[in-house]
Amino acid sequence: MFMADVFKSGFVTIIGRPNVGKSTLMNQLSGQKIAIMSNKPQTTRNKIQSIVTKEEGQVVFIDTPGIHRAKHKLGEFMVKSAETTLNEVDLVLWLIEPETKIGPGDQYIIEKLQRVQTPIFLVINKIDTLPKDRLLEVIATYKDTCNFAEIIPVSAMTGENVDMLFKMIFDQLPEGPQYFPEDMITDQPERQLVAELIREKALHLLQQEIPHGIAVEIEGMKQREDQDIIDVQAVIYCERDSHKSIIIGKQGSMLKQIGTLARQDIEGLLGSKIYLELWVKVKKDWRNSDFLLKNFGFDPKLM
């Protein structure tokens, strides 16, 4: 791979309220589906790293859980996970909705950012949905809330202005080494990505409250001998018996839908045929259990 005369590198975190499009933006920046997406808030639970290597350098993007006021131990973990990245990276991208009034959620983030020494880009999302004069109002509303290094309007969904955002990111980053191999696109283990894809399909298909109370654990993932098939055994955990029956559905119909959609994405991820077996188990109040949170892959040091 041809390297530019000056090779830049660094770590860039994407923060914002739940459901403003952080995962969509990271997938757009990386050109790959790394983070799961849903129209339900608090989809992302762990910090997920996406690695983009270009001629001019390497950017490691960190997609964080949405910053919000926590209601349980899982929520506390998610918020702390997002906030701990702010002073540990080279650049913060604060992604906002194109609103002309600052609500309590964004005011909470502003208070956090005002104590941060890291350069901050204000990234205004969803510009494909509003006229230019409205965009100017949004910029006027937010421009003095923090000492922004740049203000960039984009559309995470369509990719509009993402190339310009990339250019500004590289302008901001210091000269540095290549941290990861050029063909590496994420630091997430395959099992974690597979579990997240299954959870994404559940988020799409299930009712509003149930998805926040589910976790997915991969119990087995093994290539069959002499066959291009990977056997995957996964368990969807929920908090109530009533939720279990909804996830399974009438005669297993909902679980079958989740499995069918997940299998298609997992095959795309792993480049192999997948035989996926899903089970549903109840773990009451797991979001407030240190032991179960650790078991599901959440770092206890962040709780």
**For residue 135, what is the enclosing H or E element?**
helix 132-142
* Res 154: pLDDT: 96
pLDDT in tens, 141-171: 999 999 999 999 999 999 999 999 999 999 9
* Res 191: pLDDT: 78
Return the percentage of the chain with pLDDT > 90, whole number: 30
Query: Which residue ranges make up each domain of the chain?
Result: 8-172, 190-302
Per-residue pLDDT for 73 more than 60? no
pLDDT class for 194, splitting at 50, 70, 90? confident
* Res 172: pLDDT: 95
Is CATH 3.40.190.80 the right assignment for the domain spanning 190-302? no
The CATH number given to 8-172 is 3.40.50.300
* Res 173: pLDDT: 95
pTM for this model (two decimals): 0.61
pLDDT class for 24, splitting at 50, 70, 90? confident
pLDDT in tens, 88-121: 789 999 999 998 899 888 998 898 888 888 999 9
Closest to 46 (Cα-Cα) out of 196, 204, 201, 208: 196
Phi-psi domain of 249 (left: phi exceeds 0; alpha: psi -120 through 50; beta: other): left
Within 8 A by CB and 6+ apart from 16, the residues are: 22, 66, 67, 94, 95, 96, 109
